[in-house]
């Protein structure tokens, strides 16, 4: 069909060209041509047509290819006949401008609207079978449409790094050496004069399934030469086998008896296990949400289905891995950014084949292909870490819901402090609301106390009251957690003589003092430099570190409790691979009595001997310009408070503040998140913020302020053109931090009570926005449903 269509097109083109030339020769008023020129022209065109005809006859079809490019459209490419016609979901390599790019086939067709002379050939077909299923491609297409992001970039965001690099699915195969000697004893005897070959062969004979070379190298020093010699003698062979993810070893445990409200939640979830539904599991800290998850997982796996479990932080995966492995007689695998590229692709393949029963991972694991997905669980669904903040700015929780809807399976959103959006949806009946109001094992919620720092003597961030509470709990053999969400030693260094602060040269912010390195570091762009000997403004040497960081608290606590073991957990102290899981396990074993940490310890961790939590300073979250800030602060404080008293002894929480009368802190004393959330939802409704409106945020940045502002002004004009009075356009204005990493930042906010109106205006304006000349001088991005307004 494609060849006959191409032939008829060529014939029509040739006839048209001949007619035009003949007319021109007859009518010399329009074009003066002699007979020879006409013949040469016709011959020249005939040769071109012949070449095009050959090319067309050697074309197997047209591929529609999505490329990892900011250009929104997919592209047509001609498939030469030497390649078999691939299915959608297969990777190909194609020319794009001056580069060759990896792309993914999303469709095939007989002909293209692109003129044949402009079509380029596919250079290579990489996969024999699709690496993405039609269902997953449909999901990614919906994601691209909702977030108004180029489909190719969406697809390549979903792929493991090795597949984005063009590696084959077999790249993770393991090379195994296997003994193949028929008479083992005689062969060993024949190798008496080759002791290393004999040792290698003997080890392989003891392992009938064979051993990978790296494993063999731990048993015999440098076995490569011996292996080659044995292979030449036909005594061993090399096999390639599919990779196997790291096995999680754990002793088996039995399920505890569920409390009545846990059992009711499980029954409600199992009742709708064969249909799509969104279930909000709203349980106080320590209420046993994980046991509810496990009960649902056991039933799901018993039906031969798979489960996808998302967590917001890498730090939470080892704990859940062990817990799942102890209870579930099925393979549990993890997927997160701390894994090597090979390990991630291996886990991705095992999930895709159906060998893995439970896939546990962070945000990006939501794209993992599954053979028979039966349930999706999003733990700590409120956490902003589920929102990607660069590239494709998707929300892992929302994509999880979309995926469950597509597969017609249930999705469970769990949290002790649900997001206001989820609570609003539950109140409207769109989510099933399941509540766990009591802690497991008879434990009680901790007692919360506000300490007014204005009325206290404070030494390096530790008030007299907090120090006394720490002594009392430590004397009873308990553990203490001190929380401060600010790493480093001090957030500000200033000159005591003139008051000048030491600022980041690339950002509109101060640099943080890190005492251990005697360095100043910007936590926004990474710029760092040694502490200067004197003030650059006045020359004084009186430079003083102001404010509190986890390093300063560590130093202060060391002086107060020199005989107590202490550990600090933040991004600076947990840089080595495996450091965090080891530190968490040491805390569980009671090796450290005092734990100092940031938000890395704020949620999900279960330390039964921590009975006191001290929050060093919570005031920094009370006066943010971001409308999300009160919700985040309430969630964070309640989550950190929830680390106290999870065992038999009731916990205490000491919150240090200069604003004890603040309504949010007063509300926390009730330990009732529902009450707090209802008040915040009322404020959101009055101020016309989500979930009562829908928003999108354009961000632009440039080395010159005027370039970023100019771009967003032009975008605002375009949006006004497509606005049907349902859209509020606010800005453009400078971002709260005007300059970051040497670039000036500007924002343009769109708000509407109608989601469809917002997306319709964006869909109409974006093609023109992408063609704006002003975009050449500034970078821009679009964030749908932003969770961070900074």
Assess whether pLDDT exceeds 60 at residue 459: yes
- Strands 373-379 and 410-415, bridge-based pairing: parallel
Residue 10 pLDDT greater than 60, yes or no: no
Mean residue pLDDT across the chain: 87
pLDDT at 321 over 50: yes
Is 689 within 8 Å of 630 (Cβ atoms)?
A: no
Rg of the chain over Cα atoms, rounded to whole angstroms, equals 32
Q: Is the pLDDT of residue 731 over 60?
A: yes
In this predicted model, what pLDDT tens digit does every residue of 357-406 receive, in sequence order?
999 999 999 999 999 999 999 999 999 999 999 999 999 999 999 999 99
* Residues 6+ away with beta carbon under 8 Å from 466: 451, 614, 654, 656
pLDDT digits (tens, 9 = 90+) for 513-566: 998 889 999 999 999 999 999 998 899 989 999 999 999 999 999 999 999 999
Q: Is the pLDDT of residue 716 over 70?
A: yes
Please answer whether residues 365 and 336 qualify as being in contact, where contact means their C-beta atoms are separated by less than 8 angstroms.
yes
Which tens digits make up the pLDDT trace of 467-514?
999 999 999 999 999 999 898 999 999 999 998 999 999 999 999 999
Q: List 92's β-bridge partners, or say none.
A: 103, 125
What pLDDT, on a 0 to 100 scale, did the predictor assign at position 602?
Answer: 73
DSSP label at residue 245: P
CA distance 202 to 205: 5
pTM above 0.95, yes or no: no
Average pLDDT on 212-223 reads: 82
Percentage of residues of the chain with pLDDT beyond 70 = 90
More confident residue, 268 or 248: 268
Pairwise CA distance, residues 776 & 711, whole Å: 9
Tokens for 132, please give them: 């993405």
- List the one residue out of 451, 469, 489, 399 whose CA is nearest residue 655: 451
Residue pLDDT, tens place only, 78-125: 999 888 888 999 999 999 989 999 999 999 998 899 998 899 999 999
**Of 785, 626, 789, 609, nearest in space to 149 by CA:** 785
Burial string for 175-198 (b: 16+ CB within 10 Å, else e) reads ebbbbebeeeeebbebbeeeebbb
Which band of pLDDT confidence, cut at 50, 70 and 90, is reported for residue 767?
very high
Give the mean pLDDT of 443-452.
90
Residue-wise pLDDT for 39-49, tens only, equals 555 455 445 44
pLDDT band at 26; cut points 50, 70, 90? very low
Which residues are paired to 458 by β-bridges?
463
pLDDT of residue 65: 96
């Amino acid at each position: 069909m494609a060849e006959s269509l191409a032939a008829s097109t060529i014939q029509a083109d040739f006839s048209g060209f001949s007619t035009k030339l003949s007319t021109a020769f007859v009518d010399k008023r329009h074009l003066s041509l002699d007979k020879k020129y006409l013949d040469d022209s016709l011959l020249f065109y005939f040769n071109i047509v012949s070449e095009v005809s050959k090319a067309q006859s050697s074309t197997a079809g047209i591929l529609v290819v999505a490329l990892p490019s900011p250009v929104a459209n997919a592209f047509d490419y001609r498939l030469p006949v030497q390649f078999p016609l691939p299915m959608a979901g297969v990777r190909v390599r194609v020319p794009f401008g001056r580069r060759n790019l990896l792309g993914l086939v999303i469709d095939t067709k007989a002909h293209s609207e692109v003129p044949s002379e402009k079509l380029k050939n596919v250079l290579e077909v990489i996969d024999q079978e699709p690496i993405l299923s039609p269902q997953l491609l449909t999901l990614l297409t919906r994601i691209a449409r909702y977030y108004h992001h180029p489909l190719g970039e969406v697809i390549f965001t979903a792929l493991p790094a090795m597949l984005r690099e063009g590696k084959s699915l077999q790249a993770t195969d393991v090379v195994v050496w296997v003994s193949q000697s028929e008479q083992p004893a005689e062969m060993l005897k024949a190798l008496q004069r080759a002791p290393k070959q004999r040792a290698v062969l003997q080890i392989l004979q003891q392992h009938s399934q064979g051993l990978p070379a790296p494993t063999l190298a731990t048993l015999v020093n440098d076995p490569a030469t011996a292996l080659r010699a044995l292979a030449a003698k036909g005594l061993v062979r090399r096999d390639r086998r599919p990779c196997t993810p790291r096995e999680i070893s754990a002793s088996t445990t039995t399920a505890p008896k569920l409390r009545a409200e846990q059992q009711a939640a499980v029954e409600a979830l199992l009742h709708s296990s064969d249909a799509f539904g969104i279930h909000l599991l709203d349980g106080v800290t320590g209420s046993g949400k994980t046991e509810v998850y496990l009960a649902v997982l056991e039933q799901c796996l018993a039906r031969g289905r798979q489960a996808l479990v998302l967590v917001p932080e890498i730090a939470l995966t080892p704990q859940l891995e062990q817990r799942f492995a102890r209870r579930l007689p099925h393979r549990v695998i993890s997927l997160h950014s701390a894994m090597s590229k090979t390990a991630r692709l291996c886990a991705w393949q095992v999930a895709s084949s159906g060998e893995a029963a439970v896939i546990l991972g962070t945000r990006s694991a939501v794209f993992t292909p599954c053979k028979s997905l039966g349930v999706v669980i999003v733990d700590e669904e409120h956490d902003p870490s589920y929102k990607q903040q660069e590239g494709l700015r998707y929300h892992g929780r929302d994509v999880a819901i979309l995926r469950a809807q597509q597969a017609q399976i249930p999705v469970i959103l769990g949290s002790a402090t649900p997001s206001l959006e989820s609570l609003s949806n539950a109140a409207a009946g769109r989510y099933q609301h399941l509540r766990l109001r009591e802690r497991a094992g008879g434990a009680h919620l901790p007692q919360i106390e506000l300490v007014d720092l204005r009325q206290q003597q404070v030494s390096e961030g530790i008030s007299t009251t907090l120090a006394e509470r720490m002594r009392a709990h430590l004397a009873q053999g308990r553990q203490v957690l001190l929380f401060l969400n600010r790493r480093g030693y001090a957030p500000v260094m200033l000159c005591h003589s003139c008051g000048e602060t030491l600022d980041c040269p690339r950002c509109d912010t101060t640099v943080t003092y890190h005492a251990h390195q005697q360095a100043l570091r910007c936590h926004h762009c990474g710029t760092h430099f040694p502490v200067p000997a004197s003030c650059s403004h006045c020359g004084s040497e009186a430079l003083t570190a102001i404010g509190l960081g986890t390093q300063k608290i560590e130093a202060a606590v060391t002086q107060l409790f020199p005989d107590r073991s202490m550990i600090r957990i933040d991004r600076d102290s947990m840089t080595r691979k495996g450091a965090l899981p080891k530190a968490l396990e040491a805390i569980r074993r009671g090796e450290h009595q005092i734990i100092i940490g940031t938000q890395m310890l704020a949620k999900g961790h279960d330390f039964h001997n921590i009975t006191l939590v001290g929050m060093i300073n919570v005031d920094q979250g009370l006066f943010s310009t971001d409308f999300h800030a009160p919700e985040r602060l309430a969630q964070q404080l309640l989550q950190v408070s929830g680390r106290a008293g999870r065992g038999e002894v009731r916990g205490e929480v000491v919150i240090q503040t200069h604003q004890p009368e603040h309504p949010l802190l007063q509300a926390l004393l009730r330990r009732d998140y529902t009450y707090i959330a209802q008040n915040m939802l009322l404020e959101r409704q009055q101020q016309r913020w989500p979930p009562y409106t829908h928003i999108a945020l354009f961000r632009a940045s440039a080395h010159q302020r005027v370039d970023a502002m100019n771009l967003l002004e032009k975008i605002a004009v375009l949006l006004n053109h497509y606005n049907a009075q349902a859209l509020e356009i606010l800005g453009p204005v400078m971002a709260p931090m005007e300059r970051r990493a040497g670039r000036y930042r500007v924002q343009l906010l769109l708000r509407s009570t109608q989601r469809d109106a917002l997306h319709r205006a964006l869909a109409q304006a974006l093609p023109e926005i992408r063609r704006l000349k002003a975009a050449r001088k500034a970078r821009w991005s679009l964030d749908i449903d932003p969770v961070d307004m900074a």
